[in-house]
Amino acid sequence: MGRRIAATAGLGLALLLSSCGLLSPSGDARPAAPHRASTLPRARPVPTGHGSRTAPDFNGDGHPDLVLDSLLAPAGGHDDDPGIGIVYGSARGLDPATRELLTPARHAAPTAGTVPASFDAETVCDLDRDGFSDLVVTTDPPYDGVGRPPVPVQLLFGSPHGLGPARAVKLRIPDRARFGNEWPDQPVCGDFDGDGAPDLAVTASGPRISYLRGPFTRTGAPKAAGAPVDIPGTALAPTAPLSSSDLDGNGADDLLVRAADPGRRARGRLALGGPRGPVRAGPAAYPPGYATVFGRFTRGARAVTSVTADTDGLLSVGGRPGRIRTGTGGVPTLATGDVDHDGNPDLVVAGRRPVLLSGTANGLSTTARRLPVPRLPGSGRPHATVLALADFDGDHRADLVLLTRRDRTHDKVTVLPGGPSGLAARPAFSFTTADFRAS
């Protein structure tokens, strides 16, 4: 968590989707939202699952779940981290009545008797290969600034009853896998050695990572870890939502490495996975931007190409700078998925004015379709962040989950289902994250 943890502030996920992210638009303090009636239905117990290969699926019932980070505090709340919200999936899609709130007090592992003040979702994978997805979080353990800091990364293991019963364990990074005295940061999941078990990559000092081979034990220990690995940059991001992916077709996932921290404009480059992990730099750098995704976006769709979003949502496709202008405004986030089930990947670019670019047999459309943004109280222009673009209801069409926020005091999560004509014009449901604590 680097510099921001050293200042005892939490780091929100601002990777790809953010990324990776995936999960959080900001690490800022969460002021209390005004009093209102709850927008969420009465909570129900989490259904019991038996394990699945779906991701993310914390209760193993075969239906993907949703992670919500950077929750707003309810009316009368404090600036402490309100926690992480989980909305569980069902055969009909996300079910806001089946939800849980994960808080530092109840779910984080204390350090020297001190419970972390921050508790931020980072990435999801099945670290112990038991059929239940696990949540990787970052925290702010006490540190006096002398010597090597403690590891701030913790693991919450899924179960047939979800994440609610879990108490996190600290990720164990062997001394031989650490380098320098910076905080281990920006955990990214992926099968980087191609052996079928999820691994973790975590930043070390300088352009290096601690590469931890899975599977992991329930005490947070990796199967193996060697010396720190050199990488072509200092910041990490997944190459696909919530996990990495194999871009060069060699059976091992690849890692996107950036030259600046998440949320900043930077060039990116791949660290290519292989039997020894992500140790080989990719052949070319991607144009400067805030986020990069990968898919079969060009005509013929035989090869995977990149899309990078720069200022105002200016898109570079396949490394060619500034090919498509979307006018989204603000810091953009990207997500790709097939929203109409036509076999061509579509692209969502979020920001102040989120848009959808449809995939076609001739490649990515240059026509940006504006997506609806909910009305929120307050002044200033709201900003939307992609939380997920995935098939939540099992109809083979990706559904979009957006988090729209204004003034750090008001927000709304909206779910736009995919359909034959693309994303729906109206959300299937919406709610404010403040109600995770209020209800």
In a domain, 360, yes or no: yes
Question: Apex CA 19: angle with CA 167 and CA 326, to 5°?
Answer: 150
pLDDT of residue 8 exceeding 60: no
Q: Do residues 387 and 402 lie in contact, with contact meaning Cβ atoms separated by under 8 Å?
A: yes
Percent of the residues in the chain that have a pLDDT greater than 90, as a whole number: 71
Q: What is the mean pLDDT of residues 273-298?
A: 91
Task: Give the residue among 311, 300, 59, 43 at the shortest CA–CA distance from 165.
Answer: 59
pLDDT tens-place string over residues 221-244:
999 999 999 999 988 986 654 345
Q: What is the mean pLDDT of residues 128-148?
A: 94
> How many structural domains is the chain composed of?
1
Task: Give the residue among 20, 27, 7 at the shortest CA–CA distance from 145.
Answer: 7
pLDDT value of residue 299? 73
Beta bridge partners of 277: none
- Helix then strand then coil, % of the chain, to nearest 5: 5, 40, 60
Half-sphere exposure of residue 83, counting CA atoms within 13 Å on the CB side?
22
Per-residue confidence band for 409, with pLDDT thresholds at 50, 70 and 90: confident
Rounded distance between C-alpha atoms, residue 258 and residue 243, angstroms: 16
Burial of 283 (0-12, 13-18, 19+ CB in 10 A): exposed
pLDDT value of residue 348? 97
Residue written as tokens 């449809």?
358
Task: Give the residue among 412, 297, 307, 390 at the shortest CA–CA distance from 349.
Answer: 307
The DSSP letter of residue 198 is -
pLDDT top residue among 231 and 247: 231
pLDDT value of residue 438? 63
Highest mean pLDDT among 70-74, 160-164, 280-284: 160-164
Per-residue confidence band for 16, with pLDDT thresholds at 50, 70 and 90: very low
Q: Which two tokens stand for residue 76?
A: 């009368």
pLDDT value of residue 12? 28
Give the global pTM: 0.90
In a domain, 393, yes or no: yes
pLDDT value of residue 383? 95
pLDDT of residue 9 exceeding 60: no
pLDDT tens-place string over residues 296-323:
887 765 678 899 999 999 999 988 887 7
pLDDT value of residue 37? 60
Per-residue confidence band for 276, with pLDDT thresholds at 50, 70 and 90: very high
Q: What is the mean pLDDT of residues 361-385?
A: 91
Q: Identify the weakest region by mean pLDDT among 31-35, 52-56, 345-349, 368-372.
A: 31-35
pLDDT of residue 89 exceeding 60: yes
Task: Give the residue among 133, 73, 131 at the shortest CA–CA distance from 101.
Answer: 73
In a domain, 107, yes or no: no
Q: Which two tokens stand for residue 292?
A: 């990069």
pLDDT value of residue 163? 97
Per-residue confidence band for 3, with pLDDT thresholds at 50, 70 and 90: very low
In a domain, 400, yes or no: yes
Task: Give the residue among 203, 122, 124, 114 at the shortest CA–CA distance from 157.
Answer: 124
Helix (H, G, I), strand (E, B) or coil at 362: coil
The residue length of the chain stands at 439
pLDDT top residue among 115 and 3: 115
pLDDT tens-place string over residues 39-52:
888 999 999 999 99
Q: What is the mean pLDDT of residues 385-407?
A: 95
Give me the phi and psi of 414, to 5 degrees please: -125, 145
Q: What is the mean pLDDT of residues 184-192?
A: 94
Residue written as tokens 């980070």?
69
In a domain, 240, yes or no: no
pLDDT value of residue 439? 55
In a domain, 143, yes or no: no
Rounded distance between C-alpha atoms, residue 232 and residue 54, angstroms: 31
In a domain, 314, yes or no: no
Cis peptide before 215 (omega within 30 of 0): yes
pLDDT of residue 412 exceeding 90: yes
Domain range spanning residue 424? 332-438
pLDDT value of residue 262? 81
Task: Give the residue among 216, 190, 193, 217 at the shortest CA–CA distance from 202.
Answer: 190
pLDDT tens-place string over residues 189-228:
999 999 999 999 999 999 999 999 999 999 999 999 999 9
pLDDT tens-place string over residues 92-124:
999 999 999 999 999 999 998 999 999 999 999
Task: Give the residue among 213, 135, 145 at the shortest CA–CA distance from 174.
Answer: 213
pLDDT of residue 14 exceeding 50: no
pLDDT value of residue 150? 94
Q: What is the mean pLDDT of the chain?
A: 87
pLDDT of residue 251 exceeding 70: yes
In a domain, 153, yes or no: no
